Structure 1
């Protein structure tokens, strides 16, 4: 039986806030119901201009944003948000399914992409991943410190240290290291890493995993006994030296 996903909260213990933007009210109602069942505070907007106003007032931790809207499309909404300094994680929602549209959305500053029709469970899972990677959410009641040998990772403050020296990681590097540390002494495949760290299918482009593993090794293992190991033909594992 699969264990239920841990409850996610803001660092201060309050409920996470999600803004759902779509001009189809039935869809926003369904999404709102699913997100509220997670214990999150939800507001909706039916147009691009309304989305911008609500985002300013509500200060959401994540946004579900439809690309095709009658007044101001999702790309334009995102552009205005980023220009104003708002780096809220954005999950694009659209009927378009071409790879070029996905790339355009991510290049514009979006963080993830779901095409209609979709499952509510998928949207919830991707939002959980976005907010955790952004550092705006943490698991209620969870011990925030992960340790492997002399390496420590604080899930709340996003601080990483090895042998007492602080290590600066990007958001993606941090999430990859966290996933490895949560599964220490267990081999995880490239496909598992893609699914858990990036939360969507890269179409077999596993080279992105190899690239980020190399980034981590340079920051984590350089000058130390290696903790990150390659299990050839299977995947990667982090473990303390014997």
Structure 2
């Protein structure tokens, strides 16, 4: 591990699991912060700007879902791995749709968790090194990615963190076909998912914010059987 260890915040209220995770991660050279409830987790994020979060869903007070939403709404993009005893598909889908990057069901193997943490950190570092695109002109709309806004002549629409990442990736590949799998891997940053509907839902919401006629998009077009393309004229 480097002289500047990666910061991981564990958001968990089960003492035995906290002890195991903290001991394991510190032995691997990570700097670890513990939050046993949601509000505490948000404060740690603001103060420490961690590199990754391990997040339990079933927390006292603010749920893990709410923590995830708040973190993403504050435009933090570090990876979030959900840890939970829940094993239903809907819980996984919900977690990923609100901004989580990965999902592990308790009980899980420590070696697998460490491997996933390392993979997420590598992907996050690669993503953060990409040259950011901060402004995009899609006449008559201006996309202000730095401030997460789509500015129309008569109104402004707020963009979510995921929508900003989605536009940035598509803009970096403007006028090129982009598959759903590529978006899942590079925007959501997880490798395998049969839930391509996740991408479609986000594209639909994004169109409603950046297109004058979302049902007949001029810029964010569907390529049937392939994926999507951001057409910049």
Normalised by the length of structure 2, the TM-score is 0.61
Counterpart among 227, 230, 242 of residue 219 in structure 2: 227
Task: Identify if the C-alpha distance between structure 1 residues 231 and 103 changes in structure 2 by more than 3 Å, giving closer, same or farther.
Answer: closer
Aligned to 2:25: 28
Secondary structure at the residue paired with 2:174?
coil
Deviation of 1:54 (Å): 7.5
Residue 158 of structure 1 corresponds to which residue in structure 2? 148
Q: Greater helix share, 1 or 2?
A: 2
Corresponding residue for 2:58? 75
Runs of 5+ unmatched residues, structure 2 = 1-5, 12-17, 73-78
Pick aligned residue for 1:193 from 156, 174, 183: 183
Q: Confirm whether residue 65 of structure 1 aligns to residue 65 of structure 2.
A: no
Deviations 1:87-108 (A, max 9, x none): 335834548694459539839x
Q: 1:184–1:238: 8 Å Cα contact kept in structure 2?
A: yes
Say whether the 8 Å CA contact 1:93–1:113 is kept in structure 2.
yes
Query: Equivalent residue for 2:136?
Result: 147
Partner Cα distance (1:175, 1:160) in 2: 14
Contact 2:166/2:187 (CA < 8 Å) preserved in 1?
A: yes
Deviation digits for residues 176-208 of structure 1, max 9, x if unmatched? 222211211121101111222223357312122
Aligned partner of residue 229 in structure 1, secondary structure: strand
Distance across 1 between alignment mates of 2:89 and 2:58: 14
1:166 Cα deviation after fit:
3.2
Q: Aligned equivalents of 1:155 and 1:76: distance in 2?
A: 33
The question of whether the paired residues in 2 share the 8 Å contact of 1:195 and 1:201 is answered with: yes
What's the C-alpha RMSD, in Å, of the aligned pairs? Answer: 4.4
SS class of match (1:236) = strand
Instruction: Give 2:14's aligned residue.
Output: none
What TM-score, normalized to structure 1?
0.59
- Could you list the runs of 5+ residues in structure 1 that have no partner in the other structure? 1-15, 34-41, 68-73, 133-138
C-alpha contact 1:91 1:127 (8 A) present in aligned 2: no
